[in-house]
Chains A and B, each alone.
Chain A
Amino acid sequence: MEVGQLQRRFLEYTASLFNQGLLDAQFQQLQQLQDESNPDFVVEVVSLFFEDSEKLLNDLTIAIGQQTVDFKKVDAYVHQFKGSSSSIGAQRVRNACIAFRSFCEEQNTEACMRCLLQLKQEYSLVKDKLQDLFRLEQQIVEAGGAIPMLEY
């Protein structure tokens, strides 16, 4: 596929992620920080997000599965997840964290379990989509093109 077509596909795909609410303006902030001296900045930050998230989901699964749930601990994990998802603009993950925290406050174990499931689903979705986006980016670079920027 020629570079122009790849770039258009990249822009359309990026736009769809914003339209679906998966990403918000914070992701564009990250893209603005990427430059010739930091060409892999977005991938670097998002990779850190993936690492942190997987650990947090694991910790949350263990914490919610306890006989007596420590809601303070669960809330702390979700707070951390909310922070990291906000940092990369993963809007739906962040919103799932906000809902989750309200049930932590109510100390509602069943609702927290449902929230954890929702959080895992939202995370999995944004992870897959971002990995697809980075693959498209890679194709553009390999074809000798520059990564286009979407502007709202």
Chain B
Amino acid sequence: MTSQIGSSNVKKIITCKMTTKKDAKALIVDDDSMAHTLHKHLLSRFGFKTFTAENGKQAIELFRSGEHFDLITMDFQMPVMDGIEATKTLRDMGVDSKILGVSASDKSAVMELFIEAGVDHFFTKPLTLDKLARFFKNI
């Protein structure tokens, strides 16, 4: 364990293939305000402009209104419409955004449901810089 006295964090944008084009947009779909705050900061480190939706239905309405997002982080359990149903509906609509399923549950059944629904990857919460870096490296 070491320490850095007097260090300060300067914002560093992490290079990412998805955000080499300008105005890459990410949609955070979660009913939890903490997740919004955390995921916003994480994704902005990779150069994304971030937007939020409180549930799957709101996410779908955004796409139906003509919005498009390069990346979606989709929570599992949400009121009104959950992440599984929202993912299936978006894929049926022909949405080709990268979708990351996220859940606080580490049960494999949740991951399987998300994969069947059409996500590109699944992460257990909390999302971290390392997890996202690994995902972006492999796409």
Residues of A in contact with B (beta carbons under 8 Å apart): 4, 7-8, 11, 15, 26, 29-38, 41, 44-45, 48-49, 52, 76, 79-80, 82-84, 86-88, 145-152
> Closest chain A residue to B75 by CB distance?
A83
B positions within 8 Å CB-CB of A = 1-12, 32-35, 37-38, 41-42, 45, 77, 104-105, 125-126, 128-129
Give which listed residue, B6, B11, B128, contacts A35 with CB less than 8 A.
B11
Please measure, in the bound complex, the distance between the C-alpha atom of A151 and the C-alpha atom of B9, giving whole angstroms.
13
B34 touches A87 (CB 8 A): yes
Q: With A145-B6, A146-B6 in contact, do A48 and B37 touch (Cβ < 8 Å)? A: yes
Smallest beta-carbon distance B123→chain A, Å: 12
The residue of chain B having its C-beta at the shortest distance from the C-beta of A145 within the complex is: B6
Report how many A-B pairs have Cβ atoms within 8 Å: 89
Q: Give the secondary structure class of A's interface.
A: helix
State whether B5 touches A33 (Cβ < 8 A).
Answer: no
| B32 and A151 form a contact (CB under 8 A) | no
Task: Provide a sorted-by-A list of 24 A–B residue pairs whose CB atoms are within 8 angstroms.
Answer: A4-B5, A7-B5, A7-B6, A26-B128, A31-B9, A33-B41, A33-B45, A35-B10, A35-B12, A36-B8, A36-B11, A38-B41, A48-B37, A52-B33, A79-B77, A79-B105, A80-B104, A83-B35, A147-B8, A148-B5, A149-B9, A151-B2, A151-B4, A152-B1
Sort A-B residue pairs by CB-CB distance and give the 8 closest, nearest first.
A83-B104, A35-B9, A35-B11, A146-B8, A87-B126, A33-B41, A11-B3, A48-B34
Task: Tell me, rounded to whole Å, the shortest Cβ–Cβ distance linking A79 to chain B.
Answer: 6
Query: Which chain B residue has the least Cβ–Cβ distance from A19?
Result: B1
Interface of B is mostly: loop
Whether B35 lies near A87 (C-beta < 8 A) is yes
A37–B6 Cα gap in the complex (Å)? 18
Alpha-carbon distance between A41 and B40 when the two chains are bound, in angstroms: 11
Give the chain B neighbours of A44 by CB distance below 8 A. Answer: 37
- B1–A86 touching, CB < 8 Å: no
Q: Is the Cβ of B126 less than 8 Å from the Cβ of A29?
A: yes
Complex Cα distance, B4 from A4, in Å, reads 11
Determine the distance from Cα of A26 to Cα of B33 in the docked complex, in whole angstroms: 18
Q: Contact check: which of A15, A29, A86 meets B104 at CB < 8 Å? A: A86
